Amino acid sequence: MLAIHNCHRKLAELTYLNLRKDGSLVLGNVEIALLVKHLKENYALIQRLDELKQLSFQAHLIGDLDWQMDLCRQIEEIEVQCL
């Protein structure tokens, strides 16, 4: 299953609503502000997931199962937000 986070859906919706028949994307100031907001949200999401996954790998390497399980729980909490 492909997980789609809410910020990805909003980016897709913004694109859909502003995509012209010729394939061009026309954005006004309001749309650009929304685009920037959702791009920043996406960046924070990816950055946090990557951070947690790297830490989980480090926990695995040093054999700290409790820490690794806590990190995996945090990753799962984020992934649950994806539909």
- Is the pLDDT higher at 82 or at 24? 24
pLDDT digits (tens, 9 = 90+) for 19-53: 999 999 999 999 999 999 999 999 999 999 999 99
Q: Sign of the C-alpha dihedral, residues 43, 45, 46, 50?
A: positive
What pLDDT was estimated at residue 62? 98
Structure tokens at 23: 């394939």
The length of the chain in residues reads 83
Ramachandran quadrant class, 29 (left: phi over 0; alpha: psi -120 to 50; beta: rest): alpha
Ramachandran quadrant class, 64 (left: phi over 0; alpha: psi -120 to 50; beta: rest): beta
pLDDT digits (tens, 9 = 90+) for 56-70: 999 999 999 999 999
**Rounded to whole angstroms, how far apart are CA atoms 49 and 76?**
10
